[in-house]
């Protein structure tokens, strides 16, 4: 069998295959499709002279924002599928969110390589900029149930961000859509949940625990709902892991200093750990198996 047309590898050099396109004039390219010229020129350190580690700080937060954009994209479609009674398709999008959350949590280990001494070299240049001002992070919290109308005022000077967050504030949460689907399946979800003002933060309804218990204690009859409950618990657990890793990274880097945006810093992040998205999915665990 002839191998004359096959590319060969010599030493440390790999030959290009004949079919690889190298004339890229007037063609869609990798860089063009991804808009890399703009993306890779969006890092603008403000320290002077420029501090080496500021690039890490910028890229860490920019990549986080890109992942948050995808999380919002997936949560939006997951809610659409739930509203269409397509639970299996919705869970596919939720599964993707879970994987993104794992990446976001792992990213903190990169920022944790920034020592207190290194960060102090440029922290003063950040002014009042703070992750507290991330509209996408707030939108994700809103989509999952931690709504707070007062947060809208943070973005009143940026119409596009305000519009994004307002839309999430007015839209049913992932849990709202799931519970509406559960009700359409014939389970007795309390009317107070189905008729609630979705602009309000979700709060636990004790009467719902019995409904969730029915799902957990009869998985054969409610298998996809049973699976969905566990997927939602995964999402909340992942979010809490992310919050905790954020807290520990901040503690490691700035100790008990105030945040650049005016928050109390570590104490502010600590209080966030008490927030929950799907309270009945945790309360039911106390009920199951209890005598």
Query: Annotated binding residues for heme, as ranges?
Result: 246
CA dist 277 and 285 (Å) reads: 15
> Nearest to residue 217, comparing CAs of 160, 290, 123, 119?
290
Q: Are strands 9-10 and 13-14 parallel, antiparallel or unpaired?
A: antiparallel
Helix (H) or strand (E) holding 214: helix 206-217
Which backbone phi and psi does 13 adopt, to 5 degrees?
A: -120, 125
Structure tokens at 288: 């199951």
Helix (H) or strand (E) holding 193: helix 191-194
Residue with tokens 């739930």: 82
Q: Are 274 and 282 in contact (CB under 8 A)?
A: no
Structure tokens at 80: 């659409």
Instruction: Show Cβ contacts of residue 62 under 8 Å, excluding neighbours closer than 6 positions.
Output: 42, 43
Structure tokens at 264: 């109390």
Instruction: Show Cβ contacts of residue 290 under 8 Å, excluding neighbours closer than 6 positions.
Output: none
Task: Give the residue ranges of the annotated binding site.
Answer: 57-61, 119, 123, 246, 260
Task: Give the residue ranges of the annotated binding site for substrate.
Answer: 57-61, 119, 123, 260
Q: What is the DSSP letter of 115?
A: -
Q: Are 216 and 230 in contact (CB under 8 A)?
A: no
Query: Which residues, listed in sequence order, are joined to residue 9 by a DSSP beta bridge?
Result: 14
Residue with tokens 């403000």: 46
């Amino acid at each position: 069998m002839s191998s004359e047309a096959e590319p060969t590898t010599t030493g440390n050099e790999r030959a290009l295959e004949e079919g690889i396109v190298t004339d890229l004039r007037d063609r869609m390219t990798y860089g063009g499709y991804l808009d890399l010229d703009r993306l890779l020129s969006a890092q603008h350190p403000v320290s002077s002279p420029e501090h080496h580690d500021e690039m890490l700080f910028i890229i860490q937060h920019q990549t986080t924002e890109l992942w948050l954009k995808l999380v919002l994209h997936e949560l939006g479609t997951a809610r659409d599928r739930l509203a269409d009674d397509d639970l299996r398709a919705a869970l596919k999008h939720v599964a993707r969110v879970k994987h993104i959350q794992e990446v976001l949590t792992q990213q903190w280990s990169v920022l944790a390589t920034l020592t207190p001494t290194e960060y102090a070299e440029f922290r003063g240049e950040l002014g009042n900029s703070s992750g507290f001002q991330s509209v996408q992070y707030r939108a994700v919290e809103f989509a999952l149930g931690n709504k707070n109308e007062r947060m809208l005022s943070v973005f009143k000077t940026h119409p596009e961000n305000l519009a994004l967050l307002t839309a999430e504030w007015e839209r049913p949460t992932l849990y709202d859509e799931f519970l509406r689907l559960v009700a359409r399946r014939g389970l007795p979800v309390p009317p107070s949940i189905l008729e609630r003002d979705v602009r309000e933060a979700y709060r636990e309804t004790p009467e719902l625990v019995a409904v969730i218990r029915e799902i957990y204690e009869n998985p054969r009859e409610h298998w996809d709902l049973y699976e969905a409950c566990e997927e939602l618990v995964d999402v909340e657990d992942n979010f809490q892991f992310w919050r905790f890793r954020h807290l520990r990274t901040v503690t490691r880097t700035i100790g008990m200093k105030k945040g650049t945006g005016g928050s109390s810093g570590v104490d502010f992040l600590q209080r966030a750990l008490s927030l929950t998205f799907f309270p009945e999915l945790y309360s039911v665990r106390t009920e199951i198996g209890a005598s």
